[in-house]
Every structure is written in structure tokens, then in C-alpha cells.
Structure 1
Amino acid sequence: MNRIVVIGAGQAGASLVAKLRSLGFAGQIALIGEEAVPPYQRPPLSKAYLLGEMTQERLFLRPESFYAEHQIDLHLGAPVESMDRGEQILRLGGKVFAYDALAFTTGSVPRHLPATIGGALPGVHVVRTLADVDAMAPEFTAGRRVIIVGGGYIGLEAAAVAAKKGLHVTVLEMAPRILQRVAAPETSAAVHALHEGHGVRILTSTGLERIEGDTHVTGVRLSDGTHLDADFVIAGIGIMPATALAETAGLQVENGIKVDAQGRTSDSHVWAAGDCASFPYRGTYLRLESVQNAIDQAELVAENMLGAAKDYDPVPWFWSDQYDMKLQIAGLNTGYDHVVVRQTDARSHWYFAGDKFLAVDAMGDPRAFMVGKRLLEQRRSPDKAAIADPQTDLKALLRA
């Protein structure tokens, strides 16, 4: 194998090509990205970068010179136009790229509000790329009014930044509570209270009928007919796997590009990793949207492209920074039937299905996160009463 092409120059793509070189692969590597900038960190975009606390250069995962120094052919601002799996070639910008092996690390794309309700008006923003955040940054001026549609992590992180910058913030959430899809009522309530304590108004069980304005956003009309004035709107209504090219090429796609446990797609020459990949996980298929998964899965795919034949079996973990609170999550809470609340000088919520430990939400409690993650890695379930007792030394649970 002499030629590897990676489509998607985000966290997963950058991790994959760097791992190939560190493993000693000496053939040609091409990394192709739609954006005009080198691979960069996404989590700080809606936080430190938007707050003005981080420069663009600090976002970059590696200096652009790294790619040239490691003979990685970096093509930016270059969306792939077509893929011929039979000939094993890609076409973009008048160029043809032949490959012996190819990896999709195309990530995800944001859901947009429908144009039929005003989603295409100037002043309606999404939070996904550097260009998205650069476009909305001038809107973040103290005293202005922002409506954020969606009470998930994307919307809530944007709300925290807006509140810190002195804007009047309203969050609209159709569900009865924020974070309903991903967190227990206890976590939702704690995060809700945190935002309200910073002056954010959260309207739950509230639908958006339309965004108002002729040439720019002036307000929104809610499903109950209420009108709210607004200077701009942020849509934080989720993301979708970027699978358009894979589908056109005839790869199997089911909520992401379907791969086996080693990251190989329905084409033995093609692999996938990161947000765009749906992989087997303990009896089901799973797609993870996290930095941890993008790095770990991409690095494992790099190994497997070179013959390692390793299966991917992660313990998922995530984080969200809101104000001065870091919410750290280990595990997946799917199927939980009980939540143990641990309250010390910090707070954590431990998810169980019967006596089986599934996940933990740690709010400003790095020790709870670390211990919970270690227990999950060891597939051990702690005693519920011990978790709830604030006198319990959590680290002792690892020695039990």
C-alpha cells in the first residue's frame, strides 16, 4: 500500500494522518478539507474563541508547517467532487487523487432552521465552523438580544458566552426540560438553575413558529403566538453526520457511515472514523460526537489500515464548559432506571440500570469523573449507598 487519502481535515483527520506517520508509514498521504484553514479544535469555538480569549492560531491542532515536514499533502478549501470506488480515485478542483486506502473523517454538519420559517434570514446563525463563529462574533455586543433555539449543549454553551458578554439571552426548548435527550432530570435542573443564576431566560415546552424580519432578524414568534424581540438568533438544534459523498459513492450508511469493529466500511479499501462513523458497540450501533472519540477511533483506524486488526471498544467521555462550571460525563446513560445524587462541595449524578453502573455526570467534580471513568473501564459497579454518602472516599472504590 503506497497511497492513503483522508477526506475531512478536522480532529479525526488530523489525528489519523499524524498516527500513520508515527507508525512509520512511508507512502503518500493526502489530507483533504473543505475549509480553507488547517485542522483546528472545535470545542473552544463557542467558548474561549468567541469570548476573545483565544486567537485563531491557538485553535490550530498543529502548525501548518507540520504537514509539509511530515510529507502530508494538505489540500484546503477543496471539497471532493466525485469518488469512483471501482477505479479508486477522487476528483476535486480539476485534480485526480488515486488511493490504495481511503478514510472518511468528514465529521458532522449542523441542522439549520427551515427557510420557510425564516431560517435563511441574515442574523440567523449556527455554531459549527470557524467561519460560523467569525460571522456571529460581531453580534455579541452587550445589551443586544439573542434568541437561542435549542437547549442542548451547543445552545447552552452559546448562551453562557452571550450572558458573560452582557447580552439579554433567551433559550427556547421544545421539550419539557433542557438536555432531555442526553441527561437525567437532576442534571437538567442543575444546569437550568446555573443559567438562570446568570440571567438567562429559559422557556421549555416552547416551539418556534417563525423568525421575523424583512432584511434582518427583528424577533421571533412562538407557537403560542407570543412575540419576542431579537437582534439575532442562534440555532443549536443538533448536528448530522456528513455522509453525502459516502452515500453517493454507494457505501452503507445508517445514521453515519457504517463500519465494522475495526473501522472498515462496506468497501474493504475504505474506512471511517469520528462523528461520521457508526460502529458496533455492545450489541448495537453507535455514533459518538466527541473529541475523545474522534482522536481514539481515528488513531485505531490508522493502525488497522496498516494491518493491526484491533477492535474499537471505548468508554465514551465528554465535557461541556458553561460559565465557571465544567460538566464532565463518562459512559452512556442509555437504559438507566435510577440516578444516585452525590452532593459534597461539588455535585455528581450516577446512572444505574438495576445495580449496573452506566455513567456519571460530574459538575465541577473532577474526582467523581475520574473514578467513574475508571470504574467503567474496569466494568465494575459501585455500591449505590457508598456513592450517595458524602463521607465515602471515592478513590477507595477503585481499591475495593
Structure 2
Amino acid sequence: MPFYKYVAVEGSGRKIRGVIEAENKVKAISVLAERGLMVVRVEEQKNFKRRSPFFQVSINEIATFCRQLSIMISAGIRIKEALNILARQEVFSRRFRKIITEILVNVETGDTLADAFRKTGAFDNVLISMLEAGEEGGVLDRTLRKAAEFYESVKRLQDEVKSAMAYPLFVLFFAVVIVLVISFYILPSLVRAFGTSIPLSPTIQALLKANKFLSKNWPWFSVLVVGVVVILFIIMRSRYGVYIKEYLSFLFPPVRNLRRNMGLERFARTLGILISSGVRITDAIKMAAHASDSPSIVRKSDEMVQKISEGKTLRDTFAESGVFPQLIYEMIGTGEETGKVDEVMERVADFYEDIVRNSVKRLVSLVEPLLIAGVGGFVAFLAYSIYTTVFQLQRSIGG
């Protein structure tokens, strides 16, 4: 079906713009009018292609949305009415409310809920596949509840990692402030007190030159620092930030092990929730691999799917992949024998979630003394350089 770009006015008088897919222009206007919008302009968009948003949708908003939609559907509210209500909820950001509105428009044009989600380009394949299975099986409310529990679990683990790293980051920030105060305020005052003709060590000279440069160019330097911080923040919150974090984690072995365990946890939990939702095992493995954010698992996913299609058991397939520890393929073998692969994967995910928590605690206990030692060492080095300078001054005065 063709796409139409529209400009319409809400009942509150706010002008909105968007793109709608419809059979023809008349159908597009009809759907928009049913939503209580006064259509100003509708134009067909030639060669229109939907693009995935640069920024990822908040996991917290996805979990809240799935939870509320599940409750409304189980209470007997029609999907269109439920989406219309959720599109006005202030608990969601303006961007996410716009996405819900786009889902509603897609549903009103005849799309299934899964297709409507897919067309927005804002949701991952895990959620979309769960919705497809839920719609086919007539258990959409239960599927949405499982999705909410899944994303809440992911968010809970992320929050624990962030809260654990908050104190080391504060120590690092405080240390940087101390070093800057010593380097650019205390040290120049001390040198001025002894005069400009005293012999200075290379370290002190370098710090004084940096102080002089920043004193003259601090407006431009401040703009540069703020710009770099903003750009890094934007990139890390985008979908490209995942690859950057993955690359940086390989530089530090404890972080590499932590990310590996987090990948196994996400893979096991995603695989379990997809299988329990009725998704085919081959599709579930592919999507779970991509949800793990682990390059090694993603690379092996196609090979694993091929072996399963040829008739190999899950246990043998996982064992031969070489990317999973023995615990996972032995447990999944037990799940095959008992017919409870989904439950087994959920327990494996809980196990690795505990490992991740403990790894974060150990990592924090390792980072804190390293930061303190690094800051203390730099301050001691500055103190030694100042003492050496004063000692040379005393010798020159004595001479």
C-alpha cells in the first residue's frame, strides 16, 4: 500500500505531522478523521522508506507500555481504544506517545498489532515475534504480560549495574576536580610567591603552560569540552553505542567477562520467553542471539539454526557451537528430555543474573582502590615536583 504524508490538527489545536499507510488518499483521510483529527493536507509519498530511529526506545517505557496494554486487553478493552488511551498517557515521553499514535494508525488501516509495531521501526524483533505468536494463539494479554516481565528484568539488571558504578564514577569526578584545583590554582600561586626566576621541573613547566593556555582560551575550551560530552552522550544512547561499548570492554578483562555473562543471561532469558510464547525454536535462537549483543553468539546463530533444521538436538548444537559453557548445553539437554526448555532457560538466566550481580560487586571493589591509588599517586607526584622545585630554589639562594 502507498504511504501518505499528512498535516492535521488535534482537538486542542495542536498541529501534528506524520506518515500513514493506506489503500488510497480517501481511506487515509477517513482513518485520520476517525481519530478526531481535522485533516489539513494529505500528499502521497513516492519511494518512502521507513528508517529505524537513531535513538533506542527506553526499555522502561516499553515495559510500562506492555504492562498497561496487557491489563487493558485482559479487562476487555478493544486494542484500538487501549492504544488511544495509552497515546495520551503523560507517563510516556512525547516521542513514545507519537510512536503509540503511529501504531494506532497502522492498526486502524488494517494491520495486525505485530505488523503495526514492526512498521514503526522502534521495537526489536523479540517483542514483535512475541506479539505475532500471541495474536496467532489468542493469548495476546498473557504474551504482553510476559514481555513486560522480560523487559522489567532487563531494566532491573541494568539499573543494578549503573547504581553499583555510581560511587566509583563519583570518586573519579571528585579526583579530577582535586587535581585541577592543585594544578591550576594552588601551583601557580606557589610559583608566583617564589618569583618567576626559579628553576622549574618539566612537569611544573608543562602544568603552568597548560594553565596559561586555558586562562586565555577558556571560553573556546569550555565549548569544546561540553560539545564532546554531549556528542559522546548522544552516541552512547544511540544504537551505535552498543558496538562501542562492546569494543571498549575487550580492553579490560574483568569488564569483558562481565559483558560475556550479561550476554549469556540475555540470550537464555530471551530464548526462554520466546519459546514459552510459541515462537519457533529456529526463529527464537536467531532473535535471542541478536538480543544478547554478543558478537560471538550472533556469528554462530546461523550455523546453529542450520544444524537444528538438519535434525540435531539442541544440546549437541549448543555444545558444538563453542560459545556456550557446559552448564547451558547440559541444562538445555535436560529441558529437551523433559519438554520444559523454556523453564530451564529461565532458571539459567536467573543463575547468570546472580553471576552478573556478583561480578559487578567485585569489579566495583577492584575499581575503587585503583582510582584512589591513581589519584593519590598523581597528587604525590605533584607534591614531589613542587618539593624538588623548592629544594632547588633553596640551593640557588644558598649558593
Q: Normalising by structure 2, what TM-score?
A: 0.24
Which structure would you say has the larger Rg?
2
